[in-house]
Amino acid sequence: MPSLTRDEARQRAQLITVNRMEVDLDLDRGAEHFSSTTRIRFSCSTPGEATFLDLRAVSVEAIELNGTRIEPAAVVDGRLPLEGLAADNTVEVTATMAYSRDGQGLHRSTDPADGEDYVYGHLFLDAAPTVFACFDQPDLKAPYVVTVRAPEEWVVLGNGRATRTGAGEWELSETLPLATYFVTVCAGPYVSVHDEHDGIPLGIHARRSLRTELERHAPQMFEVTKQSFDHFHRTFDVRYPFGDYDQVFVPEFNAGAMENPGCVTFRDPMLFRGAATREQVLQRSNTISHEMAHMWFGDLVTMGWWDDLWLNESFAEFMAYTATSRATEFTDSWVEFGIVRKQWGYAAERAPSTHPVAGSPAPDAQSALANFDGISYAKGASVLRQLVAHIGEEAFNAGVTAYLRSHAHGNGELSEFLAAMEEAAGVELDGWSKAWLETAGVDALALDREGTLRRTTPTEHPADRPHALDVAGFTEGAEVFRTTFTLDGDEATVDGVDTGAAVLVPNAGDLTWAQVDLDEATLAALPHELPLVEDATARTVLWGGVLTGVYRATVDPRVALDVFTAVWPQEPHDALMARVALAFTDRIVPQFLPEAVAQEARGRIADAALTAFEDAEPGTDRALVAARVLAATTTDEDRLRAWVSGRSLPQGLDGDTDFRWAVVQSMSRLGLADDALLDEVEAADTTLSGRLAGLSARAARPGADDKAWAWSEITTNRERSNYELNALATGLWSSGSVDDLRPYAGRYVTDIPRLAEWVGADAHDRVATLAFPSRVVEPETVALVRAALGRDDVPSGVRRSMADELSKLEEALASRSRWS
Would you state the pLDDT for residue 765? Answer: 94
Question: From the CB of residue 494, how many other CB atoms can be counted at a distance below 10 Å?
Answer: 18
- Mean pLDDT (whole number) for 255-265: 97
CB-facing half-sphere around the CA of 343: CA atoms within 13 A = 27
Query: Phi/psi of residue 63, each to 5°?
Result: -140, 135
| Catalytic one of 291, 313, 336, 529 | 291
CATH code of the domain in which 82 resides: 2.60.40.1730
Residues 208 and 61 in one domain: no
Last residue of a domain, one of 156, 189, 222: 189
Contact 251, 118 (CB under 8 A): yes
Does the pLDDT of residue 431 top 70, yes or no? yes
Q: Which domain holds residue 412?
A: 193-434
Which of the four pLDDT bands, split at 50, 70 and 90, describes residue 125?
A: confident
| Residues 6+ away with beta carbon under 8 Å from 519 | 446, 447, 448, 449, 504
Q: Is the pLDDT of residue 369 over 90?
A: no
CA distances 186 to 37, 118, 203, Å, are 17, 8, 13
Instruction: Residue 208: name the closest of 168, 153, 170 by CA.
Output: 153
Nearest Cα residue to 564 out of 633, 500, 647, 495: 633
Residue 317 · residue 256 · CB < 8 Å:
no
Instruction: For residues 588-615, give the mean pLDDT.
Output: 96
Same domain as 161, residue 41: yes
Q: How far apart are CA 473 and CA 483, in angstroms?
A: 9
Q: Residues 201, 145: one domain?
A: no
Count of structural domains, the chain = 3
Is 141 among the domain residues?
A: yes
Q: pLDDT tens for residues 29-79?
A: 999 999 999 999 999 999 999 999 999 999 999 999 999 999 999 999 999
Q: CATH number of the domain that 391 lies in?
A: 1.10.390.10
Q: How far apart are CA 667 and CA 536, in angstroms?
A: 34
The tally of CA atoms less than 13 A away on the side-chain side of residue 189 is: 13
* Residue 61 a catalytic site member: no
Q: Is residue 557 situated within a structural domain?
A: no
Q: Are residues 184 and 197 in the same domain?
A: no
pLDDT 10s digits, 318-333: 999 999 999 999 999 9
* 112 confidence band (pLDDT: 50, 70, 90): very high
Query: Distance of alpha carbon 536 from its chain centroid, rounded?
Result: 24
Q: Is residue 722 included in any domain, yes or no?
A: yes
Question: Is residue 288 located within the same domain as residue 168?
Answer: no
Helix, strand, coil share of the chain (percent; to 5): 50, 20, 30
List the beta bridge partners of residue 48.
none
The whole-number average pLDDT for the span 461-479 is: 96
Position 492, amino acid? A
Cα–Cα distance measured from residue 237 to residue 497, given in angstroms and rounded to the nearest whole number: 42
Predicted pLDDT at 361? 76
Same domain, 94 and 169: yes
Which of 784, 671, 813, 805 minimizes the C-alpha distance to 736?
671
Q: Say if 599 falls within a structural domain.
A: no
Residue 586 placed within a domain: no
Q: Cα–Cα distance between 211 and 205 in angstroms, integer?
A: 9
Statement to judge: residues 261 and 125 lie in one domain: no
CA distance 79 to 3: 10
For residue 157, cis peptide bond before it (omega within 30 degrees of 0): no
Distances (CA, A) of 23 to 100, 146, 180, 434: 19, 5, 12, 43
Residue 360 pLDDT more than 90?
Answer: no
Residue 173 and residue 206 in one domain:
no
Same domain membership, residue 175 and residue 88: yes
Same domain, yes or no: 738 and 795: yes
Mean pLDDT of the chain: 96
Fill in the DSSP letter of residue 590.
Answer: I
Query: Contacts from 253-257 at CB under 8 Å and sequence distance 24+?
Result: 253/103, 253/107, 253/120, 253/122, 254/102, 254/103, 254/104, 254/122, 254/722, 254/762, 254/763, 254/766, 255/122, 255/124, 256/287, 257/287, 257/288, 257/290, 257/291
Does residue 691 contact residue 682 with C-beta atoms inside 8 Å?
A: yes
Q: What angle do CA 751, 754, 756 make, to 5 degrees?
A: 140
Quote the CA–CA distance of 151 and 168 in Å, as a whole number.
5
Q: Where are the alpha helices (DSSP H) in 115-243?
A: 211-236
DSSP 5-30: BHHHHHHHHHHEEEEEEEEEEE--S-
Q: Give 569's DSSP letter.
A: G
Q: Among 434, 467, 492, which residue terminates a domain? A: 434
Question: Where is the domain boundary, 136, 155, 189?
Answer: 189
Q: What are the φ/ψ torsions at residue 257 (nearest 5 degrees)?
A: -165, 170
Q: Could you tell me which residues are beta bridge partners of residue 51?
A: 82
Q: Are residues 218 and 182 in the same domain?
A: no
Per DSSP bridges, beta strands 263-267 and 245-250 are parallel
Instruction: Flag whether pLDDT at 1 surpasses 70.
Output: no
**Which pTM was predicted?**
0.97
- Looking at residue 758, what is its pLDDT? 94
Is 505 among the domain residues? no
Does some domain include residue 808? yes
Is 454 part of a structural domain of the chain? no
Nearest by Cα to 204 from 296, 272, 266, 121: 266
d(CA 311, CA 358): 8
385-418 pLDDT, tens digit each: 999 999 999 999 999 999 999 999 999 999 999 9
pLDDT cut 70: percent of the chain above it: 100
pLDDT of residue 359: 78
* Model pLDDT, residue 3: 87
Same domain, 237 and 366: yes
